[in-house]
Amino acid sequence: MKAGWQIKPLAELCEVFGDGDWIESKDQSANGVRLIQTGNVGEGVFKDRGEKARYISEETFKRLRCTEIFEGDCLISRLPDPAGRSCILPDTGERMITAVDCTIVRFNAKQALPGFFNYYTQSRDYLSTVDGETTGTTRKRISRSKLAEVSIPVPPLPEQQRIVTLLDEAFDGIATAKANAEKNLQNARGIFESHLQSVFTMGGAEVPEKRLDQIANFSSGGTPTKSNDDYWTGDIPWISGRDMKSTRLHDSVLHISQNAVDSSATRLAPPGTLLILVRGMGLAHGAQIGELMVPCAFNQDIKGIHPAPGIVPRYLLFALKERINSSDSVMSNAAHGTLKIDSGELMKVQIPVPSEVNQKVIVETIDALALETKNLEVIYQQKLTALDDLKKSLLHRAFNGDL
């Protein structure tokens, strides 16, 4: 610790240190005094989320004797994730209160700057300390009394201001760099998707199109009887929605035995079969299709597509994925909002069918671009990770007096 710095419990630095108000659903109204909740408290930032804003009436405010909060106050969430994160309240243009799981911190201006503390709450030392004091089984939280005892490094006010100024400048630069890296990452993915779309929309009269059910057969998945323990002790991959994360399927989380295949409605699909997820939340990001590289069984949320002779499986995979993702009729909502692919509409999807040689050329081109895109994604993800590490390093140095 740098000379001239002190260590003090958080509560000792505050003029106000207390929890928000217990506001039940029946107390809320359409307008009035805004209720700030833990979801509005980001890691060092205020998340407005105006579309989800909740309020209480002026009458309820008085009846419950609520504590009003103001611009410049710090709010600390006692709930994950992570517990102890904080933000500084901006001027929302509204009167505000906060929920009971947020602690209100109003600093003594002669001891601590809100900005200095707000940065400290993003440091590993602080978050580790808070995490060590959380309790609970279903949902962990830190008590207000334990939060009050958390040790805070307290340099002189001019040093606090110097650190805040330096971190403001550094974090602004990091935020710009992160935004650029994220934009480049999206652009790389966009270029791939754009190329994929162009490949299957330029055929016109030169490339004939056929319905999917004219160039492929279909099969359904199933689940072996769970009461037969020997069914689930084999080495045959059994594909479910959680395994559909790649366009090449080699293995799965669960495996079944040959006895399971022979003694139930479950069928083994050969390599070259396309598996398409037809029901589940995995469809939220578009069609999930994979080519089997080894014999596999699959569950009832998946349909098998068996390409006819002359149809390259991987070509059909790319063509089908592009057509489904650009169609409004194939994908819809099932019961309880679960996404599904309509089997009847799926069979009617029109697929351009060039010669087998040209299909292979298209696959080679798409795979080469996919590999290049993947390499770019790795580079940009590494940049994003490095920027996060830089933030952590700057925070560590700042609060050890080494900045």
pLDDT digits (tens, 9 = 90+) for 76-93: 999 988 999 999 999 989
Domain ranges in the chain? 6-153, 156-206+354-403, 208-353
Report which of 203, 43, 14, 201 is spatially closest to residue 114, judged by C-alpha positions.
Answer: 14
CATH, domain range 208-353: 3.90.220.20
pLDDT of residue 159: 95
Per-residue model confidence (pLDDT) at position 225: 77
**Three-state DSSP state, 102:** strand
Q: What single-letter DSSP state applies at residue 98?
A: E
45 CB-contact burial (10 Å; exposed 0-12 / middle 13-18 / buried 19+)? middle
Predicted local distance difference test score (pLDDT) of residue 329: 67
**Are 249 and 291 within 8 A, CB to CB?**
yes
Q: What is the pLDDT of residue 240?
A: 92
CATH architecture of residue range(s) 6-153: Alpha-Beta Complex (3.90)
pLDDT band for 332, please (50, 70, 90 cuts): low
Q: What confidence score (pLDDT) does residue 145 get?
A: 94
Contact 297, 231 (CB under 8 A): no
User: How far apart are the C-alpha atoms of 392 and 120, rounded to whole Å?
Assistant: 11
Which of residues 50 and 206 earns the better pLDDT score? 50
d(CA 355, CA 94): 66
Percent of the chain with pLDDT over 90: 69
Structure tokens given for 262: 């022979």
- What is the per-residue pLDDT for 94? 93
Contact 74, 105 (CB under 8 A): yes
Inter-axis angle of helices 356-398 and 124-132, to 10 degrees?
A: 90
Check whether 264 has a pLDDT greater than 90: no
DSSP 301-338: TEEEEEEPTT--HHHHHHHHHHHHHT-SSSEEE-GGG-
- Residue 298 bridge partners (DSSP): 239
Q: What is the CATH number of domain 156-206+354-403?
A: 1.10.287
Of 277, 344, 272, nearest to 315 by C-alpha is: 272
**342 token code pair:** 């309509």
Tell me if 6-153 shares its fold with 208-353: yes
Residue 338 has pLDDT above 80, yes or no: no
At 77, list the tokens.
């969430």
Q: What is the pLDDT of residue 44?
A: 94
pTM: 0.71
**Is the CA virtual torsion 110, 115, 121, 124 positive or negative?**
negative
> How distant, in Å, are the alpha carbons of 73, 142, 224 from that of 316?
58, 54, 29
